[in-house]
Amino acid sequence: YGDWSSDVCSSDLVAVEGWAAVSQLAALDIARRFEDAGVAAVIYTDISRDGMLGGPNIPALKEVVEYSSFPVIASGGITRVEDLQAVQSLGPTVAATITAHHLDLIVDDWAGRNHNYCKPVAKYPADRAALQAVVCAGNPRFFLGSDSAPHPRGAKECASACAGVFTSPLLLAYLADTFERLECLHRLGDFAGRFGAAFYGLPPSTATVELRRAPQPVPAVYGPVVPYRAGATLNWTLCP
């Protein structure tokens, strides 16, 4: 049993072939077809809004929730107070993911700093504080989504920079740094692992990783890619 990703355009028709083509099937009709297929969850993305600062399409999500029984993950970027409130208003069968960098960044951190520029863009201090508060509270409907983007340096350091932040090599170390600063390090395992599995109805993983509190320099580059917080030193390192 797996998840099903519903990518829809502004007309609510399902997009296919990497969003390059639009089918004649409505998202709600597809949801009904999958009702008895053992789907663990639906990842719903409105591609007319994805990365366009608008956040998830709440009215469309509400319709899918009302007419289907499986859990739904709101894709498209949880970055604002309003996004959090909207997802919470849809009830316990709707969840959303939060990136490591959106727990750190605000608008001043990416304006004119292309390596911190992603879509949806980081918003205001109040929005960041709301994201931090929900993870510190241990809300199981909000868990990690890395959204790591390894764009080559030339595609970032230009007038029309590609959107995306590269976090994957040191993702858990970034998170440990942030969670310690927020005094909620005890929430890291749930946010990064257990909450997502539980939402999908899966047993928790028995595999483990070990983080040690030791200096972790962030390289200036990984090949042609500049990582998030390049040149900084994190307080946590992932043990080999």
Catalytic, 147? Answer yes
Catalytic residue (one of 46, 104, 127, 147): 147
**Phi, psi torsion values for 221, nearest 5 degrees:** -150, 155
Whole-angstrom Cα distance, residue 198 to residue 203? 7
Whole-angstrom Cα distance, residue 227 to residue 37? 40
Whole-angstrom Cα distance, residue 100 to residue 173? 10
Environment class of 141 (CB within 10 Å of its CB; exposed 0-12, middle 13-18, buried 19+) = buried
Structural tokens at position 90: 């849809």
- For residue 225, how far is the Cα from the chain centroid? 20
Residues 6+ apart with CB under 8 A from 52: 119, 120
Residues 6+ apart with CB under 8 A from 147: 97, 99, 118, 164, 165
Question: What amino acid positions are annotated as catalytic residues?
Answer: 147
